[in-house]
Amino acid sequence: MQLDAVTIDIGTTRPLVLLHSVDAAEMGAHPLDRVRIEDGTESMTGIVKRTDELVDRGTIGVTEPLRHVRGTVDVTLAGQPRSVRYVRKKLDDVELDADELETIVRDVHENRLSDVELGAYVSAIYANGLSLEETEHLTQAMTEVGQQLTWKGPVVADKHSIGGVAGDSVTPIVVSIVAETGLTMPKTSSRAVTSPAGTADVMEVFCDVEFSIDEIEAIVAETNGCLVWGGGVDLSPVDDEIIRAENPLSIDPPGQLIASVLSKKRSAGSTHVVIDVPYGEGAKVESLVDARKLADDVKRVGDHLDVDVTCAITHGTAPTGRGVGPVLEARDVLAVLEGDGPEPLRLKSIRLAEMLLDHCGVDASAADVLDSGRALERFRRIVAAQNGDSEVESDDLEPGEETTTVRADRSGIATRIDNRQLSDVARRAGAPLDARAGLVIHREAGEAVVAGDSLYTIHAEAAAKLEEANALADRLEPIRVRSKADALVERR
């Protein structure tokens, strides 16, 4: 069928085409079928959406990825990508081989899967998991797609956290310490997946995080390190597409998580990596047994990729910092670098930096580098190199002005601070898209509380979002207060 191509912006990164329902019926094209589009010079594939209003009969609407299609084109039905069959296999809990996983990765990269099919892939991995062999094959395939960074030195340091702990913004502090010792640490980070703030979201409070590879190389040459968004430089770009599918479901299945982390590290040119695996009630990994298994799997996949990985298994039962959300976590980061800030955040940053320095064979004290102010100066140099204000101080960072303080309705002891619930409330308040949204935690687990004491304060940029966060907080119990007698029973 010959149709006239017109460009239609419907805000999608997928190669969708819009067919009038009469033309689609005549062609036998159903929603999510594929059509082949030929303009005399090349052949392209589009995913069908049917409409009665957005395009006229005799016309095919092409979206942003196909915007170069012009004039009269030949449109015929095309078959499904092979990867759809492999997604169905995984939904049936059948183990996939290397070629099948490579095909899925290639089709994701080339935008051949619809959002529904990509969601089915993520759901299949979440429901049925990945074997270690599948994880190795998937990680390798994801690494080979997209750009890769290379560095001159034999040792390139890196650090990553599995996540699940509120206010756990240790990465900017660790990078500042490690880079100050002379090691190369080009840190590429993700934006938030299931949390109120990823490292890239926190750093964007201070400076730009999207750079080209040439710009990143210049920043690292000047400062020994960087803190940039990995998605801006096409490192393991399939990971970014999968994260986009995971976001609405707030899921991050272990096998895919390992592939995500290590494909990014390998693509970034990292040789020595410390992976933080927090565990505990409310964290992403809840038991010590699961944390150890995940750590073992990460190290084995790292060996497969020739990346030297060591894991830190840390307690994740309570938030690391006081702030949750981009601006509030940025404030904690800068306060620690300035010599103040939450003590758990300071201690964890020192521990992970010490592990990474030792792993890289560097004889230096992370605590000395931090306490001397040298890490702060290195951080300011990195911020300046990334087009930020190097003179900013922690007190300059103001959260959203719409606030509510949640108070204890009884006297007793704060027996539990729930990472997941705090993160849910912060996200409902608008974080991470609203950078100044989030919450500030006023209590620690085990602390005595008097009725009326403040437990945490919610910050939002809009009154409507504050109201939504308040409503969620009323249904949850992010900070659990129990009488002393009940607290003793809980500890038993």
DSSP 8-state symbol, 232: G
Active-site position among 252, 297, 332, 418: 252
Residues 236 and 263 sit within 8 Å (Cβ to Cβ): yes
Give Cα separations from 8 to 12, 249, 309 (angstroms). Answer: 10, 28, 46
Beta strands in 268-307 (DSSP E): 272-279
Residues 356 and 274 sit within 8 Å (Cβ to Cβ): yes
Active site residue 290: no
Q: How far apart are CA 220 and CA 224, in angstroms?
A: 5
Q: How far apart are CA 71 and CA 345, in angstroms?
A: 59
Amino acid (one-letter) located at 216? I
List phi, psi (to 5°) of 90.
-70, -35
Give Cα separations from 44 to 103, 104, 349 (angstroms). Answer: 18, 18, 49
Amino acid (one-letter) located at 199? T
Tokens 């290379």 locate to 150
Q: How many CB atoms lie within 10 A of CB 263?
A: 27
Beta strands in 191-264 (DSSP E): 225-229
Q: Is the dihedral of CA 341, 347, 348, 351 positive or negative?
A: positive
Q: How far apart are CA 63 and CA 46, in angstroms?
A: 9
First CA to last CA distance, the chain: 73
Residues 233 and 147 sit within 8 Å (Cβ to Cβ): yes
Residues 117 and 47 sit within 8 Å (Cβ to Cβ): no
Catalytic residues: 252
